[in-house]
Amino acid sequence: MTTRSFSVIRRVDNLVDVLIPKQAGVDTYRLQADLAVDGTFTTIIDAPIASGYLDKNVDRRKLHAVSNRDTVRVVFDPDTFSGGAPTLDDEKQFWLRFVPVTGGAPGTPTAPGLIIPMSEYHGTGRIVFSGTAPNGGSVASSLQADLPRGAKNITIQNNDSGTTVLYVAFTVGGSEIQVAAGESYTLLEGSEDTILVRGSGATCAFDVSFIRALPL
């Protein structure tokens, strides 16, 4: 299981509750969002280490007590950010990533994590997202996507219209599986919480689908 830079400890309607482990020297805990896993990502929240962040639009009755001495807590309603770019919607998927900020200087962004709406937590259909994998010569060049924990029956589809092979791994630095253009690979046993993808010789369009999702 991949160690994550943040965790979604609770997801209900109009609430995303995030814990970010504190890091030495980091004074601001920044969350960025995008509608696509391979998007440009825009800052939506800067949470000070001393106070974290609580969205004024969140219903306080939905909050649970959390012992978070060694973490920074960020709680928000996706609909608060419905009027900007990206345009978040509580009823649709979006992606979050964490950026450590020290003295105003942003550090390296983490891998994006998929936030799904409650309809997909309780639904019976497959959860699907798409993207474009970067061209890379090794797994270190891959696009990493963190899935909700408990994702099972994961299918990766190579949508390239030519001959580009899609390389897929399920752990950082792990072994890779090759998926030819127009073909797919399905992981039938166990569950995974991370996917890493790259194209060989060119970028490569792909789809991912899975079932049974638990919070990040």
pLDDT tens figures, 197-208: 999 999 999 999
**pLDDT digits over 15-48, tens only?**
999 999 999 999 999 999 999 999 999 999 999 9
**Is the per-residue pLDDT at 216 higher than 80?**
no
Give the closest residue to 54 by CA, choosing from 43, 66, 63.
63
In the chain, CATH 2.60.120.10 covers 124-211
Query: Taking residues 82-104, what's their average pLDDT?
Result: 94
- The matching CATH number, chosen from 2.60.40.10, 1.10.260.40, 3.40.50.920, 2.60.120.10, for 124-211 is 2.60.120.10
What's the whole-model pTM score?
0.93
Q: How far is CA 110 from CA 55, 143, 147, 212, in A?
A: 23, 11, 14, 24
Q: What is the per-residue pLDDT for 99?
A: 98
> Across all residues in the chain, what is the average pLDDT?
93
- Residue 1 — pLDDT band, cuts 50, 70, 90? low
Q: What is the per-residue pLDDT for 154?
A: 95
**Is the per-residue pLDDT at 213 higher than 70?**
no
Q: What is the per-residue pLDDT for 188?
A: 85
Is the domain 7-115 a CATH 2.60.40.10 member?
Answer: yes
Give the closest residue to 6 by CA, choosing from 58, 68, 90, 93.
68
Contact 192, 154 (CB under 8 A): yes
Length of the chain as a residue count: 216
**pLDDT digits over 132-164, tens only?**
999 999 999 999 999 988 899 999 999 999 999
Tokens found for residue 130: 């798409």
Distance CA 201, CA 162 (A): 11
**pLDDT digits over 113-140, tens only?**
999 999 888 767 899 999 999 999 999 9
In the chain, CATH 2.60.40.10 covers 7-115
Across-strand partners of 195?
Answer: 145
